[in-house]
Amino acid sequence: MTANPDEGEIVGAAPAPDGPVSVIDYNERIPNNVGLATDRKLQRALESWQPKFLDWWASLGPSIPTRDVYLRTAIAVGRDGWANFARVPMEQYRWGIFLSERNPGRTIGFGRHLGEPAWQEVPGEYRADLRRLLVVQGDTEPASVEQQRHLGMTAPSLYDMRNLFQVNVEEGRHLWAMVYLLHAYFGRDGRDEAEQLLQRNSGDLDKPRILGAFNEQTTDWLSFFMFTYFTDRDGKYQLGTLKESGFDPLARTCEFMLREEAHHMFVGTTGVQRTVERTAALLAAHHTDDLWEYGGIPLAVIQKYLNFQFSVSLDLFGSETSSNVASYYTAGLKGRWMETRRKDDHLLADATREVPVVRDGVITTRTVPLLTALNLDLRAEYVADCERGLRRWNRELEQAGLPHRLTLPHEGFNRKVGAFAGHWVSPDGELMEAADWERRSSEWLPAPADRDRVAALMQPHYEPGEFASWIAPPGVGINDLPVEYDYVRF
Protein backbone atom coordinates (compact mmCIF):
# COMPACT_ATOMS: atom_id res chain seq x y z
CA MET A 1 0.00 0.00 0.00
CA THR A 2 1.36 3.40 -0.93
CA ALA A 3 0.20 6.52 0.84
CA ASN A 4 0.77 9.90 -0.67
CA PRO A 5 1.42 12.12 2.35
CA ASP A 6 0.52 15.32 0.49
CA GLU A 7 -2.98 14.20 -0.33
CA GLY A 8 -3.81 11.59 2.29
CA GLU A 9 -4.43 9.49 -0.81
CA ILE A 10 -4.26 5.73 -0.55
CA VAL A 11 -3.29 3.98 -3.73
CA GLY A 12 -2.96 0.47 -2.33
CA ALA A 13 -5.45 -2.09 -1.08
CA ALA A 14 -8.34 -0.77 1.00
CA PRO A 15 -7.46 -1.11 4.69
CA ALA A 16 -9.65 -3.26 6.93
CA PRO A 17 -12.39 -1.34 8.75
CA ASP A 18 -11.45 -0.27 12.25
CA GLY A 19 -14.40 1.95 13.14
CA PRO A 20 -18.17 1.72 12.88
CA VAL A 21 -19.19 0.81 9.35
CA SER A 22 -22.49 0.67 7.64
CA VAL A 23 -22.50 -1.82 4.83
CA ILE A 24 -23.97 -0.80 1.52
CA ASP A 25 -26.66 -3.10 0.17
CA TYR A 26 -25.88 -3.92 -3.46
CA ASN A 27 -29.00 -6.07 -3.84
CA GLU A 28 -31.10 -2.92 -4.01
CA ARG A 29 -31.80 -1.30 -7.34
CA ILE A 30 -30.15 1.85 -5.96
CA PRO A 31 -27.34 0.77 -3.61
CA ASN A 32 -27.49 2.88 -0.46
CA ASN A 33 -26.82 3.10 3.24
CA VAL A 34 -29.68 5.49 3.96
CA GLY A 35 -32.47 2.92 4.41
CA LEU A 36 -34.09 3.80 1.11
CA ALA A 37 -36.25 0.64 1.20
CA THR A 38 -38.12 2.03 4.21
CA ASP A 39 -39.23 5.17 2.35
CA ARG A 40 -41.26 3.95 -0.62
CA LYS A 41 -42.14 7.41 -1.89
CA LEU A 42 -38.54 8.59 -2.00
CA GLN A 43 -37.40 5.28 -3.44
CA ARG A 44 -39.95 5.56 -6.26
CA ALA A 45 -38.93 9.14 -7.00
CA LEU A 46 -35.25 8.24 -7.21
CA GLU A 47 -36.00 5.13 -9.24
CA SER A 48 -37.76 7.31 -11.77
CA TRP A 49 -34.72 9.63 -11.96
CA GLN A 50 -32.31 6.68 -12.35
CA PRO A 51 -33.12 5.86 -16.04
CA LYS A 52 -32.68 9.54 -16.93
CA PHE A 53 -29.29 9.51 -15.29
CA LEU A 54 -28.33 6.35 -17.20
CA ASP A 55 -29.49 7.92 -20.48
CA TRP A 56 -27.43 10.99 -19.70
CA TRP A 57 -24.37 8.79 -18.93
CA ALA A 58 -24.85 6.87 -22.19
CA SER A 59 -25.09 10.04 -24.27
CA LEU A 60 -22.69 12.42 -22.46
CA GLY A 61 -20.47 10.11 -20.40
CA PRO A 62 -17.21 8.56 -21.71
CA SER A 63 -17.48 8.17 -25.46
CA ILE A 64 -14.98 5.37 -26.06
CA PRO A 65 -16.55 1.89 -25.86
CA THR A 66 -14.80 -0.51 -23.44
CA ARG A 67 -15.43 -4.05 -22.19
CA ASP A 68 -14.48 -3.49 -18.59
CA VAL A 69 -12.41 -1.22 -16.35
CA TYR A 70 -10.56 -1.92 -13.10
CA LEU A 71 -12.58 0.32 -10.81
CA ARG A 72 -12.94 1.03 -7.13
CA THR A 73 -16.43 0.91 -5.68
CA ALA A 74 -17.49 1.82 -2.16
CA ILE A 75 -18.78 -1.22 -0.29
CA ALA A 76 -18.99 0.12 3.23
CA VAL A 77 -19.00 3.56 4.74
CA GLY A 78 -16.74 3.59 7.75
CA ARG A 79 -13.65 5.31 9.01
CA ASP A 80 -11.34 3.44 6.64
CA GLY A 81 -12.57 0.27 5.03
CA TRP A 82 -14.77 1.21 2.16
CA ALA A 83 -13.27 0.46 -1.21
CA ASN A 84 -13.41 -2.65 -3.32
CA PHE A 85 -11.52 -3.03 -6.60
CA ALA A 86 -12.85 -5.12 -9.50
CA ARG A 87 -13.17 -5.21 -13.28
CA VAL A 88 -16.50 -3.62 -14.05
CA PRO A 89 -18.25 -3.00 -17.39
CA MET A 90 -18.76 0.77 -17.21
CA GLU A 91 -22.47 0.70 -17.98
CA GLN A 92 -22.93 -1.72 -15.08
CA TYR A 93 -21.23 0.51 -12.53
CA ARG A 94 -23.44 0.68 -9.41
CA TRP A 95 -23.98 4.32 -8.56
CA GLY A 96 -25.51 4.74 -5.16
CA ILE A 97 -26.20 6.92 -2.15
CA PHE A 98 -23.68 6.85 0.66
CA LEU A 99 -23.52 9.08 3.69
CA SER A 100 -20.87 8.98 6.38
CA GLU A 101 -21.93 7.62 9.74
CA ARG A 102 -24.18 9.83 11.84
CA ASN A 103 -22.72 11.33 14.95
CA PRO A 104 -25.82 11.53 17.18
CA GLY A 105 -24.43 14.24 19.44
CA ARG A 106 -23.27 16.56 16.66
CA THR A 107 -23.89 20.27 17.21
CA ILE A 108 -23.62 23.24 14.89
CA GLY A 109 -20.09 24.62 14.96
CA PHE A 110 -20.50 28.24 13.85
CA GLY A 111 -22.87 31.11 13.20
CA ARG A 112 -25.95 32.20 15.07
CA HIS A 113 -27.01 28.59 15.83
CA LEU A 114 -23.63 27.70 17.36
CA GLY A 115 -24.00 24.85 19.85
CA GLU A 116 -27.54 23.85 18.82
CA PRO A 117 -28.11 20.25 17.70
CA ALA A 118 -27.35 19.79 13.99
CA TRP A 119 -30.51 19.83 11.86
CA GLN A 120 -31.86 16.58 10.50
CA GLU A 121 -34.44 18.47 8.42
CA VAL A 122 -34.14 21.65 6.39
CA PRO A 123 -35.07 24.72 8.46
CA GLY A 124 -37.79 26.56 6.52
CA GLU A 125 -36.03 29.92 6.67
CA TYR A 126 -32.89 28.51 4.97
CA ARG A 127 -34.61 26.35 2.43
CA ALA A 128 -33.88 28.55 -0.60
CA ASP A 129 -30.22 29.11 0.31
CA LEU A 130 -29.56 25.45 0.99
CA ARG A 131 -31.24 24.41 -2.23
CA ARG A 132 -29.07 26.88 -4.13
CA LEU A 133 -25.87 25.51 -2.57
CA LEU A 134 -26.89 21.95 -3.43
CA VAL A 135 -27.77 22.89 -6.99
CA VAL A 136 -24.47 24.73 -7.61
CA GLN A 137 -22.51 21.84 -6.13
CA GLY A 138 -24.58 19.23 -8.01
CA ASP A 139 -24.25 21.09 -11.31
CA THR A 140 -20.45 20.83 -11.34
CA GLU A 141 -20.37 17.05 -11.02
CA PRO A 142 -21.99 15.97 -14.31
CA ALA A 143 -20.43 19.02 -15.99
CA SER A 144 -16.94 17.63 -15.47
CA VAL A 145 -17.95 14.25 -16.93
CA GLU A 146 -19.29 16.07 -20.00
CA GLN A 147 -16.10 18.09 -20.32
CA GLN A 148 -13.97 14.96 -20.21
CA ARG A 149 -16.06 12.65 -22.35
CA HIS A 150 -13.73 12.29 -25.35
CA LEU A 151 -10.45 11.98 -23.45
CA GLY A 152 -10.52 8.18 -23.49
CA MET A 153 -9.87 8.38 -27.24
CA THR A 154 -6.40 9.82 -26.65
CA ALA A 155 -5.33 8.26 -23.34
CA PRO A 156 -1.55 8.16 -22.85
CA SER A 157 -1.86 4.69 -21.27
CA LEU A 158 -4.38 2.19 -19.92
CA TYR A 159 -3.33 3.22 -16.42
CA ASP A 160 -4.30 6.84 -17.15
CA MET A 161 -7.49 5.84 -18.93
CA ARG A 162 -8.55 3.86 -15.89
CA ASN A 163 -7.91 6.84 -13.64
CA LEU A 164 -10.00 9.05 -15.91
CA PHE A 165 -12.92 6.62 -15.75
CA GLN A 166 -12.56 6.28 -11.97
CA VAL A 167 -12.85 10.05 -11.68
CA ASN A 168 -15.84 10.06 -14.05
CA VAL A 169 -17.86 7.39 -12.22
CA GLU A 170 -17.21 9.13 -8.92
CA GLU A 171 -18.36 12.48 -10.29
CA GLY A 172 -21.48 10.62 -11.42
CA ARG A 173 -21.91 9.36 -7.87
CA HIS A 174 -21.44 12.83 -6.47
CA LEU A 175 -24.31 13.94 -8.65
CA TRP A 176 -26.35 11.14 -7.09
CA ALA A 177 -25.38 12.47 -3.68
CA MET A 178 -26.83 15.94 -4.39
CA VAL A 179 -29.87 14.51 -6.15
CA TYR A 180 -30.61 12.36 -3.12
CA LEU A 181 -30.57 15.44 -0.87
CA LEU A 182 -32.77 17.38 -3.30
CA HIS A 183 -35.29 14.54 -3.54
CA ALA A 184 -35.27 13.62 0.13
CA TYR A 185 -35.50 17.11 1.62
CA PHE A 186 -36.87 19.55 -0.97
CA GLY A 187 -40.02 17.88 -2.30
CA ARG A 188 -41.37 18.97 -5.64
CA ASP A 189 -38.91 21.79 -6.33
CA GLY A 190 -36.01 19.50 -5.35
CA ARG A 191 -37.21 16.97 -7.93
CA ASP A 192 -37.45 19.74 -10.54
CA GLU A 193 -33.90 20.86 -9.76
CA ALA A 194 -32.70 17.26 -10.09
CA GLU A 195 -34.17 17.14 -13.61
CA GLN A 196 -32.45 20.42 -14.50
CA LEU A 197 -29.10 19.00 -13.41
CA LEU A 198 -29.29 16.65 -16.40
CA GLN A 199 -30.67 19.27 -18.78
CA ARG A 200 -28.01 21.95 -18.42
CA ASN A 201 -24.89 20.84 -20.28
CA SER A 202 -21.29 22.00 -20.32
CA GLY A 203 -20.73 24.62 -23.02
CA ASP A 204 -24.39 24.59 -24.15
CA LEU A 205 -25.23 28.08 -25.45
CA ASP A 206 -28.84 27.98 -24.26
CA LYS A 207 -28.50 25.94 -21.07
CA PRO A 208 -24.90 26.15 -19.88
CA ARG A 209 -23.57 24.84 -16.59
CA ILE A 210 -23.80 27.38 -13.75
CA LEU A 211 -20.14 28.13 -13.03
CA GLY A 212 -17.73 29.42 -15.66
CA ALA A 213 -14.92 26.84 -15.42
CA PHE A 214 -17.40 24.06 -16.10
CA ASN A 215 -18.22 25.41 -19.53
CA GLU A 216 -14.60 25.37 -20.68
CA GLN A 217 -13.47 22.49 -22.85
CA THR A 218 -11.13 19.86 -21.48
CA THR A 219 -9.53 19.25 -24.85
CA ASP A 220 -6.49 17.19 -24.00
CA TRP A 221 -4.80 15.30 -21.19
CA LEU A 222 -2.64 18.19 -20.04
CA SER A 223 -5.87 20.17 -19.52
CA PHE A 224 -7.35 17.17 -17.74
CA PHE A 225 -4.44 16.91 -15.31
CA MET A 226 -4.53 20.66 -14.68
CA PHE A 227 -8.30 20.42 -14.18
CA THR A 228 -8.02 17.59 -11.66
CA TYR A 229 -5.25 19.48 -9.90
CA PHE A 230 -6.77 22.97 -9.77
CA THR A 231 -10.50 22.63 -10.32
CA ASP A 232 -11.12 19.41 -8.41
CA ARG A 233 -9.17 21.07 -5.63
CA ASP A 234 -11.78 23.84 -5.53
CA GLY A 235 -14.23 20.94 -5.11
CA LYS A 236 -12.20 19.67 -2.17
CA TYR A 237 -12.32 23.09 -0.48
CA GLN A 238 -15.99 23.78 -1.19
CA LEU A 239 -16.95 20.30 0.05
CA GLY A 240 -14.79 20.96 3.11
CA THR A 241 -16.95 24.00 3.97
CA LEU A 242 -20.21 22.10 3.33
CA LYS A 243 -18.94 19.25 5.52
CA GLU A 244 -19.19 21.74 8.40
CA SER A 245 -22.83 22.52 7.57
CA GLY A 246 -25.46 22.60 10.30
CA PHE A 247 -27.67 20.59 7.94
CA ASP A 248 -26.42 17.17 9.00
CA PRO A 249 -27.36 15.10 5.90
CA LEU A 250 -25.33 17.54 3.77
CA ALA A 251 -22.38 17.41 6.16
CA ARG A 252 -22.38 13.60 6.14
CA THR A 253 -22.72 13.45 2.36
CA CYS A 254 -19.78 15.80 1.83
CA GLU A 255 -17.62 13.96 4.31
CA PHE A 256 -17.95 10.79 2.27
CA MET A 257 -17.47 12.64 -1.04
CA LEU A 258 -14.22 14.07 0.25
CA ARG A 259 -12.77 10.59 0.65
CA GLU A 260 -13.37 9.91 -3.02
CA GLU A 261 -12.10 13.36 -3.97
CA ALA A 262 -8.62 12.47 -2.68
CA HIS A 263 -8.11 10.21 -5.68
CA HIS A 264 -8.96 13.05 -8.07
CA MET A 265 -6.31 15.23 -6.45
CA PHE A 266 -3.86 12.36 -6.79
CA VAL A 267 -4.59 12.06 -10.52
CA GLY A 268 -3.91 15.77 -11.01
CA THR A 269 -0.80 16.02 -8.85
CA THR A 270 0.88 12.95 -10.31
CA GLY A 271 -0.36 13.58 -13.85
CA VAL A 272 1.29 17.01 -14.00
CA GLN A 273 4.30 15.71 -12.11
CA ARG A 274 4.86 12.90 -14.63
CA THR A 275 4.47 15.36 -17.50
CA VAL A 276 7.03 17.69 -15.93
CA GLU A 277 9.34 14.74 -15.22
CA ARG A 278 9.32 13.84 -18.91
CA THR A 279 9.80 17.44 -19.99
CA ALA A 280 12.67 17.86 -17.53
CA ALA A 281 14.41 14.73 -18.83
CA LEU A 282 14.11 15.95 -22.44
CA LEU A 283 15.24 19.45 -21.51
CA ALA A 284 18.30 18.11 -19.73
CA ALA A 285 19.14 15.81 -22.64
CA HIS A 286 18.60 18.20 -25.54
CA HIS A 287 19.26 21.65 -24.07
CA THR A 288 16.42 23.23 -26.03
CA ASP A 289 13.04 24.54 -24.94
CA ASP A 290 11.52 23.37 -28.19
CA LEU A 291 10.66 19.85 -27.17
CA TRP A 292 7.91 19.14 -29.68
CA GLU A 293 10.22 17.30 -32.03
CA TYR A 294 11.31 15.02 -29.16
CA GLY A 295 7.71 14.19 -28.32
CA GLY A 296 7.60 16.31 -25.13
CA ILE A 297 5.64 19.37 -24.04
CA PRO A 298 7.73 22.55 -23.63
CA LEU A 299 7.78 23.87 -20.09
CA ALA A 300 6.48 27.26 -21.27
CA VAL A 301 3.36 25.54 -22.58
CA ILE A 302 2.86 23.64 -19.33
CA GLN A 303 3.10 27.02 -17.56
CA LYS A 304 0.42 28.48 -19.86
CA TYR A 305 -1.96 25.61 -19.15
CA LEU A 306 -1.28 26.08 -15.45
CA ASN A 307 -1.96 29.85 -15.71
CA PHE A 308 -5.26 29.19 -17.41
CA GLN A 309 -6.60 26.50 -15.08
CA PHE A 310 -5.49 28.28 -11.91
CA SER A 311 -7.13 31.56 -12.93
CA VAL A 312 -10.47 30.04 -13.97
CA SER A 313 -10.45 27.99 -10.77
CA LEU A 314 -9.97 31.12 -8.62
CA ASP A 315 -13.19 32.43 -10.18
CA LEU A 316 -15.02 29.46 -8.67
CA PHE A 317 -14.65 30.95 -5.20
CA GLY A 318 -16.95 33.87 -6.02
CA SER A 319 -16.17 37.49 -5.12
CA GLU A 320 -13.70 38.44 -2.41
CA THR A 321 -16.54 40.26 -0.69
CA SER A 322 -19.93 38.62 -0.77
CA SER A 323 -23.05 39.12 1.27
CA ASN A 324 -24.10 35.61 0.20
CA VAL A 325 -21.20 33.98 1.98
CA ALA A 326 -21.77 36.08 5.11
CA SER A 327 -25.36 34.94 5.34
CA TYR A 328 -24.48 31.29 4.59
CA TYR A 329 -22.00 31.41 7.48
CA THR A 330 -24.20 33.22 9.96
CA ALA A 331 -27.06 30.86 9.17
CA GLY A 332 -24.84 27.82 9.82
CA LEU A 333 -25.11 26.51 6.26
CA LYS A 334 -21.51 26.78 5.02
CA GLY A 335 -18.54 26.95 7.38
CA ARG A 336 -14.86 27.69 6.92
CA TRP A 337 -12.17 25.21 5.95
CA MET A 338 -11.32 23.25 9.13
CA GLU A 339 -13.90 25.26 11.07
CA THR A 340 -13.63 23.16 14.21
CA ARG A 341 -9.86 23.64 14.41
CA ARG A 342 -10.06 27.42 14.24
CA LYS A 343 -9.43 29.14 17.53
CA ASP A 344 -11.90 32.02 17.52
CA ASP A 345 -15.53 32.59 18.51
CA HIS A 346 -17.00 31.02 15.30
CA LEU A 347 -19.31 34.03 15.05
CA LEU A 348 -16.86 36.54 13.54
CA ALA A 349 -19.19 39.46 14.19
CA ASP A 350 -16.44 42.00 14.91
CA ALA A 351 -13.55 40.57 12.90
CA THR A 352 -12.22 42.23 9.75
CA ARG A 353 -9.99 41.24 6.86
CA GLU A 354 -8.03 42.94 4.11
CA VAL A 355 -9.31 42.21 0.62
CA PRO A 356 -7.73 43.23 -2.68
CA VAL A 357 -9.15 46.13 -4.63
CA VAL A 358 -8.09 47.97 -7.77
CA ARG A 359 -8.28 51.70 -7.05
CA ASP A 360 -6.94 54.64 -9.07
CA GLY A 361 -4.91 52.38 -11.30
CA VAL A 362 -3.19 50.44 -8.51
CA ILE A 363 -3.77 47.13 -6.79
CA THR A 364 -4.21 47.78 -3.10
CA THR A 365 -6.40 46.50 -0.27
CA ARG A 366 -9.34 47.63 1.79
CA THR A 367 -10.67 46.42 5.12
CA VAL A 368 -14.04 44.70 5.24
CA PRO A 369 -15.96 42.63 7.81
CA LEU A 370 -14.45 39.13 7.82
CA LEU A 371 -17.91 37.63 7.43
CA THR A 372 -18.21 39.12 3.97
CA ALA A 373 -14.66 38.03 3.06
CA LEU A 374 -15.06 34.31 3.69
CA ASN A 375 -14.80 33.43 -0.01
CA LEU A 376 -11.32 34.95 0.12
CA ASP A 377 -10.55 33.14 3.38
CA LEU A 378 -11.29 29.85 1.61
CA ARG A 379 -9.47 30.85 -1.53
CA ALA A 380 -6.35 31.68 0.49
CA GLU A 381 -6.38 28.17 2.00
CA TYR A 382 -6.78 26.78 -1.50
CA VAL A 383 -3.88 28.79 -2.94
CA ALA A 384 -1.58 27.61 -0.13
CA ASP A 385 -2.55 24.03 -1.00
CA CYS A 386 -1.90 24.68 -4.71
CA GLU A 387 1.62 25.86 -3.82
CA ARG A 388 2.38 22.49 -2.26
CA GLY A 389 1.86 20.65 -5.57
CA LEU A 390 3.93 23.21 -7.36
CA ARG A 391 6.84 22.50 -5.05
CA ARG A 392 6.56 18.83 -5.98
CA TRP A 393 6.62 19.61 -9.68
CA ASN A 394 9.54 21.95 -9.27
CA ARG A 395 11.48 19.22 -7.48
CA GLU A 396 11.41 17.30 -10.78
CA LEU A 397 13.12 20.25 -12.47
CA GLU A 398 15.55 20.65 -9.61
CA GLN A 399 16.47 16.97 -9.65
CA ALA A 400 17.17 17.18 -13.38
CA GLY A 401 19.62 19.99 -12.59
CA LEU A 402 17.55 22.61 -14.39
CA PRO A 403 17.15 26.27 -13.35
CA HIS A 404 13.55 26.52 -14.66
CA ARG A 405 10.61 26.70 -12.23
CA LEU A 406 6.82 26.69 -12.55
CA THR A 407 4.97 29.45 -10.70
CA LEU A 408 1.39 30.38 -9.84
CA PRO A 409 0.24 33.55 -11.60
CA HIS A 410 -0.92 36.59 -9.62
CA GLU A 411 -4.45 36.29 -8.17
CA GLY A 412 -5.60 39.11 -10.47
CA PHE A 413 -4.49 37.43 -13.68
CA ASN A 414 -7.22 36.52 -16.18
CA ARG A 415 -10.10 36.94 -13.75
CA LYS A 416 -13.79 37.23 -14.61
CA VAL A 417 -15.25 37.24 -11.08
CA GLY A 418 -14.53 39.53 -8.14
CA ALA A 419 -12.25 42.51 -7.54
CA PHE A 420 -10.07 41.91 -10.59
CA ALA A 421 -12.86 41.35 -13.10
CA GLY A 422 -12.63 44.02 -15.80
CA HIS A 423 -8.97 44.71 -14.97
CA TRP A 424 -5.98 43.52 -16.93
CA VAL A 425 -3.30 42.04 -14.73
CA SER A 426 -0.16 40.22 -15.92
CA PRO A 427 0.95 36.94 -14.29
CA ASP A 428 3.51 39.04 -12.35
CA GLY A 429 0.78 41.26 -10.94
CA GLU A 430 1.29 44.31 -13.14
CA LEU A 431 -1.86 46.28 -13.96
CA MET A 432 -2.02 46.84 -17.71
CA GLU A 433 -4.06 48.47 -20.46
CA ALA A 434 -6.53 46.06 -22.06
CA ALA A 435 -4.92 46.31 -25.51
CA ASP A 436 -1.42 45.61 -24.15
CA TRP A 437 -2.69 42.67 -22.16
CA GLU A 438 -4.50 41.24 -25.18
CA ARG A 439 -1.40 41.61 -27.31
CA ARG A 440 0.67 39.63 -24.82
CA SER A 441 -1.94 37.11 -23.77
CA SER A 442 -0.58 34.33 -26.00
CA GLU A 443 2.66 34.47 -23.96
CA TRP A 444 0.64 33.63 -20.85
CA LEU A 445 -2.34 31.57 -21.92
CA PRO A 446 -2.47 28.61 -24.32
CA ALA A 447 -2.83 30.01 -27.84
CA PRO A 448 -4.68 27.96 -30.48
CA ALA A 449 -1.29 26.94 -31.91
CA ASP A 450 -0.18 25.60 -28.50
CA ARG A 451 -3.38 23.65 -28.10
CA ASP A 452 -2.99 22.20 -31.60
CA ARG A 453 0.54 21.04 -30.91
CA VAL A 454 -0.46 19.50 -27.60
CA ALA A 455 -3.41 17.83 -29.33
CA ALA A 456 -1.05 16.42 -31.98
CA LEU A 457 0.94 14.69 -29.21
CA MET A 458 -2.19 13.10 -27.76
CA GLN A 459 -1.90 9.77 -29.56
CA PRO A 460 -3.65 6.89 -27.78
CA HIS A 461 -1.56 4.14 -26.18
CA TYR A 462 -3.69 1.10 -25.47
CA GLU A 463 -1.08 -1.64 -25.01
CA PRO A 464 -0.60 -2.57 -21.33
CA GLY A 465 2.55 -0.94 -19.98
CA GLU A 466 2.90 1.45 -22.94
CA PHE A 467 3.06 5.21 -22.31
CA ALA A 468 2.86 8.23 -24.61
CA SER A 469 6.11 10.05 -25.33
CA TRP A 470 5.13 13.21 -23.40
CA ILE A 471 4.56 11.61 -19.98
CA ALA A 472 6.67 9.46 -17.63
CA PRO A 473 5.16 6.21 -16.31
CA PRO A 474 3.96 6.28 -12.66
CA GLY A 475 6.10 4.78 -9.92
CA VAL A 476 3.42 2.29 -8.84
CA GLY A 477 0.22 0.84 -10.24
CA ILE A 478 -3.28 0.87 -8.78
CA ASN A 479 -4.03 -1.22 -5.70
CA ASP A 480 -0.59 -2.89 -5.70
CA LEU A 481 -0.98 -4.11 -9.28
CA PRO A 482 1.88 -3.63 -11.73
CA VAL A 483 1.97 -0.49 -13.87
CA GLU A 484 1.69 -2.70 -16.97
CA TYR A 485 -1.57 -4.34 -15.84
CA ASP A 486 -4.42 -4.16 -18.39
CA TYR A 487 -6.54 -1.75 -16.37
CA VAL A 488 -8.99 -1.28 -19.26
CA ARG A 489 -10.10 -4.04 -21.67
CA PHE A 490 -11.79 -3.50 -25.02
Q: Does 315 bind ligand BYC (CB under 6 A)?
A: yes
Q: Does 417 bind ligand BYC (CB under 6 A)?
A: yes
Q: Does 136 bind ligand BYC (CB under 6 A)?
A: yes
Q: How far is the CB of 464 from ligand BYC (least distance, A)?
A: 28
Binding mask 357-376 for ligand BYC (x = CB under 6 A): ------------------x-
Q: Residue 83: which H helix or E strand, with range?
A: strand 83-88
Q: Does 386 bind ligand BYC (CB under 6 A)?
A: no
Lay out the sheet containing 68-74: strands in order across: 83-88, 68-74, 488-489
From the list 386, 239, 417, 409, the residue with the least C-alpha distance to 315 is 417
Q: Does 269 bind ligand BYC (CB under 6 A)?
A: no
Binding mask 191-220 for ligand BYC (x = CB under 6 A): --------------------xx--------
- Contact criterion met (CB below 8 Å) for 172 and 140: no
- The secondary structure of 430-454 as a DSSP string is -EE-HHHHHHHHHHHS--HHHHHHH
Q: Which of 324, 327, 407, 469 binds ligand BYC (CB under 6 A)?
A: 324
- The secondary structure of 352-372 as a DSSP string is EEEEEEEETTEEEEEEEEGGG
- The secondary structure of 471-483 as a DSSP string is SPPPSS-GGG--T
- Scanning 44-52, 106-114, 314-322, 444-452 for contacts with ligand BYC by CB under 6 A, the matching segment is 314-322
Backbone angles phi, psi at 258, to 5 degrees: -65, -30
* Size of residue set near ligand BYC by CB under 6 A: 25
First to last CA, the chain: 28
Q: How far is the CB of 289 from ligand BYC (least distance, A)?
A: 31
Q: Which of 234, 255, 260, 396 binds ligand BYC (CB under 6 A)?
A: 234
Q: Which of 43, 279, 303, 319 binds ligand BYC (CB under 6 A)?
A: 319
CB-wise, 201 or 319, nearer to ligand BYC? Answer: 319
Site for ligand BYC in 329-358 (CB under 6 A): 334
Q: Which of 32, 33, 144, 223 binds ligand BYC (CB under 6 A)?
A: 144
Neighbour-count burial for 315-325, b at 16+ CB within 10 Å, e otherwise: bbbbbbbbebb
Residue 38, exposed/middle/buried by CB under 10 A (0-12, 13-18, 19+)? exposed
Q: How far apart are CA 469 and CA 463, in angstroms?
A: 14
The residues binding ligand BYC (CB under 6 A) are 133, 136-137, 140-141, 144, 171, 211-212, 231-232, 234-235, 238, 315-319, 322, 324-325, 334, 375, 417
